[in-house]
Chains A and B, each alone.
Chain A
Amino acid sequence: AQRVTQPEKLLSVFKGAPVELKCNYSYSGSPELFWYVQYSRQRLQLLLRHISRESIKGFTADLNKGETSFHLKKPFAQEEDSAMYYCALGGNYGQNFVFGPGTRLSVLP
């Protein structure tokens, strides 16, 4: 069965510090993995996906199939990065997306 875990409910860091939001998954096939973000009073939006290998707003995420992980990283956190972050696993044909429980990132001044 598909499953996504995010071990931290809340992560607080100081501005300028590195950030790593952890995500682990279980899936028997070839996974499609995503990070979604929800800023205060805004709707859920796609941040990045593993297949594009892009860096969005300074965030990157590398798929590690051996460790079944897709951790989100940023070398220098900014206050505007404070938000709720969800790791998600996509099913076949975009069906049955499985979201993790989310990690709230708080970047302190």
Chain B
Amino acid sequence: ETGVTQTPRHLVMGMTNKKSLKCEQHLGHNAMYWYKQSAKKPLELMFVYSLEERVENNSVPSRFSPECPNSSHLFLHLHTLQPEDSALYLCASSLRILADTQYFGPGTRLTVL
């Protein structure tokens, strides 16, 4: 169904935990993105990577730490999160940076207790 996969699909963590979200794209794309989808707000772009270099960081708190070891993998490391960080975290990729179409993964539903 998709060239972009995300694991885990569901994650429950306490505020003192450290966890990581993983995204993998099988489309040969060079750009990858993290989005946050909260219940009451539109999708928000968090980070953009192009060829493993971070090109955009939209004022995201430092408790979210992205990592892009290669053009196929993207991680979001989480530590000392707050309950308001509970949301659906979506990964996306595109052929290149500024390409017109992004392809999304299924998301990770994160709950912070």
Same complex: no
